[in-house]
Structure 1
């Protein structure tokens, strides 16, 4: 949004090319500050948060956001269409998944309880509709297609305001799909772990659609892209506009498919954790029931009066032992003392 790249692209630029993007930095600081505040609040309540969730949130979530807005992708997003496509793909898939793996909603519950503004918003009908798998899936797919098949993408590259709206759209819509898929509380009861695993697989397949369509397009989709101007020819290293567009489709496809397998793996891990938690809850319930039965039986034995000596085998009660009253044994024991 600050113009074309300052110099031609080279291998060293992957690590050396950086710029300060106010939008990316502000969003990253908000995400980072809120999460760290929740971690401290949860720790004060005695909750120890898994370290790998913190790492996923910081590296895969906030880290990728900073890299594609302030790093080499952000620097060359106006020069190469494939760099812009890579930014769109990362912000729409990788960054939301990293943020979702941090499990911010469960961390919020651990830190502040369930009566917060966020929890009340989640329970509203609007959010329930937006997080419904079909709705969030279509929003994600249509949103990415609109970037490349309408003037939306070209305007987002040129305008600071529209570019900011695009970043927020990609992050929010991505979270609307990923958070319910990896969580337990945002989907209907029928969305069991196996169903969520299928949804993750379906998302991986569908995310390939924009990349394939962009890669196979016969005409330039964004003819007014800044990198297609004569002023950018010296920075592009001879890369043609048509080939740049094919690379853009390849970038969309590569990022979408590279995140598909980790997404499915994360859902399977959540599935295993859910089964293990259910098994522990069932075992604990059975142990409590057994303990209650044992306590009740012991209390009954202590409070009941002492029972008389057992009667004869036919159940008749008598003051003498049964072996003295049993006709079959009377001849043998009848003349003996008790």
Structure 2
């Protein structure tokens, strides 16, 4: 199994042709993703175990969602996908979609803030509550702002010098990964609505925001597919001058494939998320209907008791009272 130092294009000269075997064999050693994965997973497990020791329950589905999110994050930043993400823009685009959509959505469904509020000691829990109620949290959770960041960020990435800088710099490359997850989290977390975060809105508005993202991904994908200039400047053509040129596809063809991946994957994940939100909406409506039925039943019972009390015969008077 090969070991590649995954960072800004370093150590890619000896990569074999990209295929399913390369995904499993060309693992990278990226310190930042490794540290984030270990700490985030470890703290979550500690929180769940703390609840269980107290005799409290924690939904298994939330733990699975968190595990899927962290596993996806580590795989796309350390497996063969990470090794080839500076060699093939189509591979980078798969990585981009996982980091910006699948990972934030899964982590949001894991409800880590709720878990922290239920398990942290008193003082750290107070700090977290203060942060959640701070002005900064309210600004970052403002739905129009998060929506704007989410749809504008990819345009800023690919049509500025930022993307080419990420190909040439280890630091910028890693920060791009963190940025994709952070922007996705700002958008998805309040919309999922599991954690008590600022910016949560009603279910119809959540569905509307999700639907509105679909044309932006499609338009960006089509724009990339139709570009007559290469993203990343001369980075990809220069790779053809080395050993990789024996198997690398034409950069323009690979860029068209990347645009199609962005278009198709964005719509697919968006529709899946739409289904999740719709299911949440239906479940919430059913719970609200049950609560309303219980409220009406209570009112009916109270009214019935009142009618029975009013219609009950009064106690008979004593004989002495009639004589008087």
| Length-normalised TM-score, structure 1 | 0.79
Cα shift readout 1:243-276 (whole Å, capped 9, x = no counterpart): 1211221222232122112101111122123223
Q: Cα offset for 1:176?
A: 0.6
- Could you say what secondary structure the match of 2:28 adopts? coil
1:201 corresponding residue in structure 2 = 211
> Given the alignment, which residue of 17, 25, 40 partners 1:31?
40
1:149 corresponding residue in structure 2 = 159
Q: Cα offset for 1:136?
A: 0.8
Q: Which runs of 5+ in 1 are unaligned?
A: 311-317, 321-338
- Could you say what secondary structure the match of 2:322 adopts? coil
Q: Cα distance 1:220–1:226, how it changes in 2: closer, same or farther (>3 A)? A: closer
C-alpha separation in 2, matches of 1:116 and 1:292: 42
C-alpha separation in 2, matches of 1:6 and 1:231: 14
1:123 corresponding residue in structure 2 = 133
Q: Which runs of 5+ in 2 are unaligned?
A: 1-6
2:99 corresponding residue in structure 1 = 91
1:7 corresponding residue in structure 2 = 16
> Given the alignment, which residue of 93, 101, 112 partners 1:104?
112
**Is 1:279 paired with 2:289?**
yes
> Given the alignment, which residue of 151, 163, 169 partners 1:159?
169
C-alpha separation in 1, matches of 2:43 and 2:131: 18
C-alpha separation in 2, matches of 1:202 and 1:167: 24
1:323 corresponding residue in structure 2 = none
Cα shift readout 1:19-73 (whole Å, capped 9, x = no counterpart): 22212211211221222122123334443222122112212x1111111111121
Higher-Rg structure is 1
**Is 1:53 paired with 2:96?**
no
| Length-normalised TM-score, structure 2 | 0.82
Two-structure CA RMSD over aligned residues (Å)? 3.2
Q: Cα offset for 1:201?
A: 1.5
2:26 corresponding residue in structure 1 = 17
